[in-house]
């Protein structure tokens, strides 16, 4: 299971209450450079959210996928590059192993992740924390061991890494 019905419902309620600015994702340039550096032919924006802002502002062949958003919930085929931008901290603890296995299975060449390592002050409508799975950088590095890490970067309160499949 990638997301429970309850969690999906909470996120839908949360997003129904908000209005959004349509603007490029802060990682747009990095994703486009990585796409070209890895000679990729396909990209999955895993956990794209209702905005799907990465594909909206890019000419790359991006497949939007988010199990919590009905419009983007169809399981995607594997892709050369999978990007998972500020997503994994929102995954339910009971679903994390399945989600990580899914992300790893889908990424054929590389994975670009950004993960908050801090609690959020935001709450879902039922009072549950917005960031329901908070771990430190070391935990994430260990969990993504099936990749080789090129570089960990980012602010102190997030794990940001470009990870390559072994053999690429």
pLDDT score of 138: 85
Give the pLDDT confidence of 14-44 residue by residue, as tens digits: 888 877 778 899 899 999 999 999 999 999 9
pLDDT score of 141: 84
Separation CA 125–CA 127 (nearest Å): 5
pLDDT score of 16: 85
153: three-class secondary structure by DSSP: strand
pLDDT average, residue stretch 150-168: 70
Q: What percent of the chain has pLDDT over 90?
A: 68
Token pair recorded at residue 39: 């000679």
> Domain of 96: which CATH number?
3.40.50.150
The residue range of the domain holding 36 is 5-17+26-165
Give the pLDDT confidence of 91-127 residue by residue, as tens digits: 999 999 999 999 999 999 999 999 999 999 999 999 9
Would the pLDDT of 48 be above 90? yes
pLDDT score of 110: 94
CB neighbour burial string for 78-95, b if at least 16 within 10 angstroms, e if fewer = ebbbbbbbbbbbbbbeeb
pLDDT score of 145: 73
DSSP annotation of 66:
-
Q: Please give the tally of structural domains in the chain.
A: 1
pLDDT score of 142: 85
Q: Closest Cα to residue 106, out of 63, 154, 44, 152?
A: 44
pLDDT score of 168: 55
Separation CA 86–CA 156 (nearest Å): 14
């Amino acid at each position: 299971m990638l997301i429970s019905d309850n969690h999906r419902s909470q996120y839908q309620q949360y997003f129904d209450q908000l209005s959004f600015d349509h603007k490029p994702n802060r990682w747009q340039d990095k994703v486009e450079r990585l796409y070209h550096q890895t000679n990729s032919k396909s990209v999955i924006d895993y956990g794209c959210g209702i905005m799907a802002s990465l594909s909206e502002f890019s000419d790359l062949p991006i497949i939007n996928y988010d199990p919590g958003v009905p419009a983007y919930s169809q399981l995607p085929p594997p892709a050369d590059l999978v990007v998972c931008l500020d997503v994994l901290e929102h995954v339910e603890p009971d679903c994390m192993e399945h989600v990580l296995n899914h992300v790893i299975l889908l990424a054929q060449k590389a994975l670009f992740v950004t993960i908050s390592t801090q609690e959020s002050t935001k709450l879902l409508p039922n009072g549950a924390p917005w960031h329901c799975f908070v771990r430190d950088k070391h935990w994430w590095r260990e969990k993504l061991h099936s990749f080789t890490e090129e570089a960990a970067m980012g602010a102190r309160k997030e794990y940001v890494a470009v990870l390559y499949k072994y053999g690429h």
